[in-house]
């Protein structure tokens, strides 16, 4: 189960970069993202209810609302919006800052000092991502969009860290119920932001292609129902810094998917970066955090 969950967040979430690009190429960011998570959340909760799982209590709905806002509105919503202004490669590089936020919070708040092995893995992983996406050439980067990506990465890291430290009673015991509740709450937040920013009127005037529709449903089924559920399970059973290594692997997968499906170039630097990142992930996954030194 552990290996399958990691494979999903590593591979499937890496493939969602291309799907997101297809969606935001035709539609604004927040409303489609909100519909994605509300649809996926409703399906998961319906399935869980059919299987006899208990629905969330009022306390668990509150916890799900906070996590949904941090992970989905703050994390995914920021990335969706930013990909309208920032190239996907630069977005992937900025999202890869998430493990650093989590390691910092573990050290400052959780009392877990990162080992040299973990720090080496994180730094090596970031080097690999820089090699993978390259640096902006002559084209300028939209710094407003870049800031939003980093803000989203921080929001996702806070949600992941907080989720790992919550008492078990704060969230539904079933991963299906917990994931569904978080997606419903986060999706509602995204819909509200989309309505406030006038997205429904723009969507009504847009002709949506079959490609965008297929990409949307790919995000619903594979990006949300299957993989977000695996992610929720992982943050309950694994150290947050280890789970966050997906942020290094996702850009590799994104480039490979782009090469296979969108005729994007695959260079020697990409292959070198892929090997570097995989080695870095191995360092982090096999490391252990040391206790915080008080003296």
pLDDT of res. 135: 53
63: pLDDT strictly greater than 90: yes
290: pLDDT strictly greater than 60: no
Written in H, E and C, the secondary structure of the chain is CHHHHHHHHHHHHHHHHHHHHHHHCCCCCHHHHHHHHHHHHHHHHHHHHHCCCCCCCHHHHHHHHHHHHHHHHHHHHHHHHHCCCCCHHHHHHHHCCHHHHHHHHHHHCCCEECCHHHHHHHHHHHHHHHHHHCCCCCCCCCHHHHHHHHHHHHHHHHHHHHHHHCCHHHCCCCHHHHHHHHHHHHHHHHHHHHHHCCHHHHHHCCCCCHHHHHHHHHHHHHHHHHHHHHHHHHHHHCCHHHHCCHHHHHHHHHHHHHHHHHCCCCCHHHHHHHHHHHHHHHHHHCCCCEECCCC
Question: pLDDT tens digits for 25-51?
Answer: 899 999 999 999 999 999 999 999 999
Q: Which one is predicted more confidently, 88 or 221? A: 221
pLDDT of res. 133: 63
141: pLDDT strictly greater than 70: no
pLDDT band at 235 (very low <50, low <70, confident <90, very high): confident
pLDDT of res. 294: 36
281: pLDDT strictly greater than 80: no
pLDDT of res. 292: 43
Question: pLDDT tens digits for 163-183?
Answer: 878 887 888 888 889 999 999
pLDDT mean over 47-62? 94
10: which residues sit within 8 A by CB, 6+ positions away?
246, 249, 250, 253
């Amino acid at each position: 189960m552990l290996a399958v969950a990691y494979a999903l967040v590593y591979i499937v979430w890496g493939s969602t970069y291309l799907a997101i690009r297809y969606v935001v190429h035709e539609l604004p960011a927040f409303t489609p993202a909100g519909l994605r998570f509300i649809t996926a959340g409703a399906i998961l909760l319906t399935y869980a209810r059919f299987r006899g799982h208990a629905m969330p209590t009022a306390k668990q709905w509150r916890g799900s609302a906070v996590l949904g806002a941090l992970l989905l509105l703050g994390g995914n919503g920021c990335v969706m919006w930013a990909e309208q202004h920032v190239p996907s490669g630069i977005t992937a590089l900025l999202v890869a800052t998430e493990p650093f936020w989590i390691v910092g919070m573990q050290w400052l708040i959780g009392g877990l000092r990162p080992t040299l092995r973990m720090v080496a893995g994180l730094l090596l992983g970031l080097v690999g991502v820089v090699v993978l996406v390259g640096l902006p050439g002559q084209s300028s980067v939209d710094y407003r969009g870049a800031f939003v990506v980093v803000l989203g990465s921080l929001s996702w890291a806070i949600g992941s860290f907080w989720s790992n430290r919550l008492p078990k009673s704060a969230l539904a015991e079933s991963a299906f119920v917990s994931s569904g509740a978080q997606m419903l709450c986060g999706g509602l937040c995204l819909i509200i932001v989309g309505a406030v920013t006038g997205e429904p009127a723009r969507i009504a005037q847009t002709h949506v292609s079959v490609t965008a529709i297929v990409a949307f449903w790919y995000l619903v089924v594979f990006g949300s129902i299957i993989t977000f559920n695996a992610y929720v399970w992982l943050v309950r059973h694994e150290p947050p810094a280890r789970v966050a290594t997906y942020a290094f692997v996702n850009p590799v997968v994104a480039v490979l998917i782009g090469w296979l499906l969108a005729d994007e170039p695959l260079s020697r630097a990409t292959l070198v970066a892929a090997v570097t990142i995989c080695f870095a992930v191995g360092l982090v996954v096999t490391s252990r955090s040391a206790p915080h030194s008080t003296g």
